[in-house]
């Protein structure tokens, strides 16, 4: 979650301006100290927008409401995925604007491999095909079911069956071969599941033994990035 400060003004700033103006309907000067790496698939834009909108509301003497923050950031981003996670924390799913909290096993740890080289979300989106086969779509829906069950229960077999996204990972692989190598290394080190984090190029691994996976990702990245274990924030922006 981004913290308010004086060290960093995010670029592009249009998202932040939109979030502030949507919240308070007036211009406002705002500086943000953002520790979330940009253009890595880690939800930095949503985190910054939520922080900016919340700060603007408080500057006007109004205590922000979570639903209000979620709706305005989701409207600006065009989807509620990252907005829901930034506002509410934990594991959330969004369908047709409706957000629902899902159970997340406390036994699971999440290890991220974050390359130094960014990948613009717009470029990652351009790599996606206009159409995909019915069979591929059906396979991906089944994988989502396994993923949700695995995250809920911590079931290693379910999480393993969830791997192999054909909607975006297959087509984005050429944009960041390093991401694929991190996923392979994480699975070889015992991770239950490994995937692109958002649009990449960061990779995320799900495990019960984060130290082994952390070392494996560090071994792949070397000087080209860093591996980190992140705790699940279950409280969101507050």
Please tell me which residue, 24 or 3, carries the higher pLDDT value.
24
Backbone angles phi, psi at 196, to 5 degrees: -65, 140
DSSP 150-162: HHHH--HHHHHHT
Q: Contact at 8 Å (CB) between 147 and 174?
A: no
Of 22 and 194, the structure prediction assigns the larger pLDDT to 194
Kindly list the domain boundaries of the chain, sorted by start residue. 3-101, 104-230
CATH number 3.30.230.10 given to 3-101: yes
Is the pLDDT score of 82 beyond 50?
Answer: yes
Q: How confident is the model at residue 17 (pLDDT cuts 50, 70, 90)?
A: confident
CA 15-1-155 angle, 5° bins: 115
80 contacts 99 by C-beta, under 8 angstroms: yes
How far apart are alpha carbons 35 and 83 in whole angstroms? 17
pLDDT at 158 over 90: yes
Per the structure block, which two tokens stand in for 197?
């984090």
Percent above pLDDT 90 for the chain: 55
More confident residue, 122 or 218: 218
| 3 state SS of 142 | helix
| pLDDT score of 153 | 97
Considering the segment(s) 104-230 as one domain, its CATH architecture is: 2-Layer Sandwich (3.30)
End-to-end CA distance of the chain: 9
Banded model confidence at residue 13, pLDDT cuts 50, 70, 90? low
What value does the CA radius of gyration of the chain take, rounded to a whole number of Å?
18
Average pLDDT of the chain is 88
Q: Which residues contact 234 (CB under 8 A, 6 or more apart)?
A: 89, 90
Please check the confidence at residue 12 and state whether its pLDDT lies above 70: no
């Amino acid at each position: 979650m981004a913290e308010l400060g004086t060290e960093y003004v995010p670029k592009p700033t249009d998202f932040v301006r939109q979030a502030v103006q949507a919240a308070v309907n007036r211009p406002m000067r705002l500086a943000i100290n953002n520790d979330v790496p940009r253009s890595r698939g880690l939800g930095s834009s949503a985190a910054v927008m939520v922080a900016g909108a919340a700060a603007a509301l408080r500057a006007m003497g109004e205590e922000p409401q979570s639903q209000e923050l979620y709706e305005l950031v989701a409207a600006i981003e065009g989807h509620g995925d990252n907005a829901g996670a930034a506002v509410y924390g934990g594991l959330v799913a969004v369908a047709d604007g409706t957000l629902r909290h899902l159970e997340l096993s406390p036994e699971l740890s999440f290890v991220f491999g974050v390359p130094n080289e960014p990948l613009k979300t717009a470029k990652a989106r351009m790599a996606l095909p206009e159409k995909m086969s019915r069979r591929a779509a059906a396979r991906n829906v089944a994988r989502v079911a396994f993923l949700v069950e695995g995250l809920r229960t911590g079931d290693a077999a379910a999480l393993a069956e969830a791997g192999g996204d054909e909607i975006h990972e297959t087509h984005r692989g050429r944009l960041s071969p390093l991401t694929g190598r991190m996923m392979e290394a994480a699975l070889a080190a015992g991770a239950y599941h490994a995937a692109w984090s958002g649009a990449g190029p960061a990779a995320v691994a799900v495990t019960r033994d984060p130290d082994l996976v952390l070392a494996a990702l560090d071994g792949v990245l070397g000087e080209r990035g860093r591996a980190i274990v992140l705790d699940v924030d279950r409280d969101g922006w507050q």
